[in-house]
Amino acid sequence: MLAAAPGERLKTLRDILGLTQSQLAEVSGVSQPWISDVETSSKEATQDKLQQIADATGTPVSFFAARPASLPLDTLRFRKTSAARKTTTRRVHAVYGESYRVTEDLVEAERYPTPSLPFTSNDADLASTEIEQLANETREALQLAPGKPIPHLTRALERAGIAVAPMVLPDHDGEEQVAVGHFGVSYWGGLGATALIGYFPGHQGDRDRFTLAHELGHLVLHTFRPRITHNQAEQEANLFATALLVPLDRAQASMSDRLSLTDYARLKATWGVSIQALIMRGHTVGAVGDTRKNSLFVQLSAKGWRKREPVSVGHESPKLLWTLLSRRYGPRPYLQGSEKLAIHPTLLRSIAPTPQLAIANQSQVDPTQNGGVKVVDFGAGRRAVRRRA
């Protein structure tokens, strides 16, 4: 594949950093008219000015010669709120595109297996029974124990060949910015292609786990259904996420109209799924009626649990991209990797964070080995539940 034109890469860099042409001109000392002319291909870029911009933004100059990502960005699926601004979404597009480009490079270079997931090509709206079945087939593909809580969803995804990347929006000073209203984004080109789930880490581990399951739902349900509407895709992905995390037979057996919020908090400690998602799961499978569901959500609001639930679910940390990166560039891979992979160093550190175990022991953990899996303690907040409920 041919490299992108420098003007296209220049615009991508501005999107990543959230800069207008005028702001980039002020930061770099390169004139705004020159930036505009290069981006519209009215003028050829010069190496000295590209180097000037690279130095000012902390970006390797190799960025401007890198080939573009091989994914069609208009097919990306997002988990975001209605409050998400278009400018932020555009930045997320650019950040994810660069993350996917680097992931694809690392996966291909290290010959890491690509995922083999179930999928559907049915353009009609899917029935809940079809989604439940696909969630069960996905559990089998991930080699998860049937009917059991998933102790470390991130590691299960990585072992199955699905890269997971925590993402940030870097600015020109190398600082990290919050992607307000965005939770996750994903893409998979189908069998034999690289898959990447990107997520924006939140304060609750259960939210991040749901985001990963939701984005996995997009890979399974929507890779071969491009004409499905956004709202329908989101509803289907939400149903898939809870079906994956809490299988149908266990949900029907453990939930009923008799459960209190304290009971749901205990279920959260078992499954690593938020109380709100568990209530909706009970309602979806017919174990909780409309009246009881509405009552439980009123109680959640009264207790202040809609924004901050009890029971602490630990944060999962990915290791696959770090492992592939360090195999290629050594135990301190960021400086060389940033230059060779032509990516902003803040973004590279975000998507391939150094595992805590590697920091402590100066060793690498291979996510394909069971020894690299740490079970998340879903029950860390049980005592708090008993006090507050």
The count of other CB atoms within 10 Å of the CB of residue 127 is 10
Residues 294 and 310 in one domain: yes
Residues 347 and 365 in one domain: yes
Residues 77 and 38 in one domain: no
Averaged pLDDT, 8-28:
94
- Domain final residue, candidates 30, 48, 68: 68
Bridge partners of residue 196, in order along the sequence: 163, 187
Residues 301 and 266 in one domain: yes
What mean pLDDT value characterizes the chain?
Answer: 86
Residues 310 and 384 in one domain: yes
What's the pLDDT score for residue 75? 63
Q: Identify the weakest region by mean pLDDT among 90-99, 201-210, 263-272, 380-389.
A: 380-389
**Is the pLDDT score of 19 beyond 90?**
yes
Compare 70 and 359 and report the one with higher pLDDT: 70
- Domain final residue, candidates 33, 52, 68: 68
Environment class of residue 313 by beta-carbon count within 10 Å: exposed (0-12), middle (13-18) or buried (19+)? buried
Task: State pTM to two decimals.
Answer: 0.88
Among 72-76, 90-94, 230-234, 323-327, top mean pLDDT goes to: 323-327
pLDDT in tens, 362-385: 333 334 333 333 334 564 444 344
- How many domains is the chain partitioned into structurally? 2
Q: Return the ∠ at Cα 241 (arms to 239 and 243), rounded to 5°.
A: 70
What's the pLDDT score for residue 69? 72
Residues 53 and 113 in one domain: no
φ, ψ for residue 197 (rounded to 5)?
-105, 120
φ, ψ for residue 164 (rounded to 5)?
-125, 130
Averaged pLDDT, 17-30:
95
C-alpha distances in angstroms, 67 versus 19, 105, 180, 304, 378? Answer: 22, 11, 29, 49, 42
Residue 72 pLDDT class (50, 70, 90 cuts) = low
What DSSP letter does each residue of 30-51 carry, written as one string?
Answer: --HHHHHHHHTTSS---HHHHH
Residue 5 pLDDT class (50, 70, 90 cuts) = confident
Residues 92 and 231 in one domain: yes
**Is the pLDDT score of 387 beyond 50?**
no
pLDDT in tens, 220-243: 999 998 788 888 999 999 999 999
pLDDT in tens, 318-376: 999 999 999 999 999 999 999 999 999 999 999 999 986 433 333 333 343 333 333 34
What is the extent of the structural domain holding 9?
1-68
Environment class of residue 283 by beta-carbon count within 10 Å: exposed (0-12), middle (13-18) or buried (19+)? middle
Residues 97 and 50 in one domain: no
Residues 17 and 47 in one domain: yes
Closest residue by Cα to residue 288 from 342, 246, 233: 246
Residues 117 and 150 in one domain: yes
Do residues 167 and 351 lie in contact, with contact meaning Cβ atoms separated by under 8 Å? yes
**Is the pLDDT score of 71 beyond 80?**
no
Q: Which CATH number characterizes residue 19's domain? A: 1.10.260.40
Residue 179 pLDDT class (50, 70, 90 cuts) = low
CA 355 vs. chain centroid, Å, equals 17
What's the pLDDT score for residue 381? 41
Compare 383 and 21 and report the one with higher pLDDT: 21
Residues 249 and 364 in one domain: yes
Residue 1 pLDDT class (50, 70, 90 cuts) = very low
Residues 138 and 53 in one domain: no
Instruction: Tell me the residue type at 175.
Output: E
Environment class of residue 307 by beta-carbon count within 10 Å: exposed (0-12), middle (13-18) or buried (19+)? exposed
**Is the pLDDT score of 81 beyond 90?**
no
pLDDT in tens, 203-220: 789 999 999 999 999 999
Do residues 198 and 96 lie in contact, with contact meaning Cβ atoms separated by under 8 Å? yes
- Domain final residue, candidates 68, 102, 123: 68
What's the pLDDT score for residue 380? 44
